[in-house]
Amino acid sequence: MKAFVATGGPELVRQAEVGEPVQRPDEALVKVDAYSVNRGEIFQLEQSAEGARPGKDIAGLVVQAAPDGSGPKVGQRVVGHPSSSGWAELVAVPVGSLALLPDSVTAVQAAALPLAGLTALRLLRTTGCVAGRRILLTGASGGVGHYATELAAAAGALVTAVSASSERGERLGALGAAAVVHEVEDARGTFDLVLESTGGKNLTSALSRLAPRGQLVWFGQASREPALLDFFDFFAGPVSATVRHFSYADVDEPDAADLETLVRLVAEDRLHPELGRTADWQQTAGVLADLRDRRIRGNAVLTIS
């Protein structure tokens, strides 16, 4: 079968012939119809050895059920979050990382959900109730940012979204952001909660915008610049503020339940994947380059014809 593998060089990936997946007892074999690529995966590919198999976000059709009899059956449409190897014609996915798709949710919509959607959903769950809270969200024009904006606004938060340009941030207002700014310094007032995903100077700037007893949650470093924090400045800043790190993978339960939640919200027209680019999977390398250079807002999805 065909799949994309890491090159170990600047082009990042190439298409190659690989062996078909060998299922474990609790894995279903899925024919992939669409998959999403994420900026974080680009950073991983830059460090990957030649032949590594990327791909965490897939949607498709079960062609062989799990040998242990669990999970989806043959012929059912699913969205999945494998640990790797999803950029391929076939992938074996643990049944705990699969959710069924209703007819109203397309494979392209579903493929954009797992990594970005799980991150946004769990990030907000980590912070507790957000109703009535003022939230500052950096890196808002990516896949996670669009989901986090819509979910938080729907829960009653007042979201100020930081996006580098008007073009990249144009959908955030429609998704419920109370304000969209281009720099952290342009945000007005102080915030009960800062969701920071860019690192570098933005983390320090965002920290200074916390209200007393506010919280900053750091969940990414898209700028790839180190964040330098002077704790003397921090102690002189907002009273009793906290800083914490978040990882979307730090959960005790399988992904299936949260994937089911995301799918349900899309089916009910309450969550809207921002599909900044949809293309045939032969264009994967070019889409990765555009995503790395911030020429795509939201999610990028590749389809296998």
Residue 263 domain-assigned (yes or no): no
Residues 107 and 222 in one domain: no
Share of the chain above pLDDT 90, in %: 80
173 and 180 Cβ atoms separated by less than 8 Å: yes
Note the maximum CA span of the chain: 60
Clarify whether residues 82 and 130 are in a common domain: no
Does 144 map to a domain? yes
Q: Is residue 191 part of a domain?
A: yes
Q: Quick check: is 266 in a domain?
A: no
Q: Do both 141 and 238 map to the same domain?
A: yes
179 and 95 in one domain? no
Are residues 109 and 129 located together in one domain of the fold? no
Half-sphere exposure for 296 (CA within 13 Å, toward CB): 22
Q: Which residue has the higher pLDDT, 11 or 279?
A: 279
Any domain includes 254: no
Please report, as a single letter, which amino acid is at residue 159: V
Residue 43 maps to which CATH number?
3.90.180.10
Please tell me the predicted confidence (pLDDT) of residue 153.
Answer: 98
pLDDT value at residue 305: 83
To the nearest whole number, what is the mean pLDDT of the chain?
94
- Domain CATH number, residue 205: 3.40.50.720
Tens of pLDDT, residues 103-154: 999 999 999 999 999 999 999 999 999 999 999 999 999 999 999 999 999 9
pLDDT in tens, 166-222: 777 889 999 999 999 999 999 999 999 999 999 888 888 999 999 999 999 999 888
Strand order through the sheet with 158-162 = 179-181, 158-162, 134-137, 191-196, 210-218, 242-245
> In sequence order, which residues have a C-beta less than 8 Å from that of residue 295 and are 6 or more positions away?
none
Beta bridge partners of 245: 218
237 has a pLDDT exceeding 90: no
Overall domain count for the chain: 2
* Token duo for residue 305: 């014809």
Q: List the domain range (segments joined by +) for residue 61.
A: 2-113+273-303
At residue 246, the pLDDT reads 93
Instruction: Kindly state whether residues 103 and 123 are assigned to the same domain.
Output: no
- pLDDT tens digit string along 249-275? 888 889 999 999 999 999 999 999 999
Q: Does residue 268 lie in a domain region?
A: no
Contact 21, 91 (CB under 8 A): yes
91 versus 220: the higher-pLDDT residue is 91
Choose the final residue of a domain: 207, 227, 245.
245
Q: Are residues 85 and 164 in the same domain?
A: no
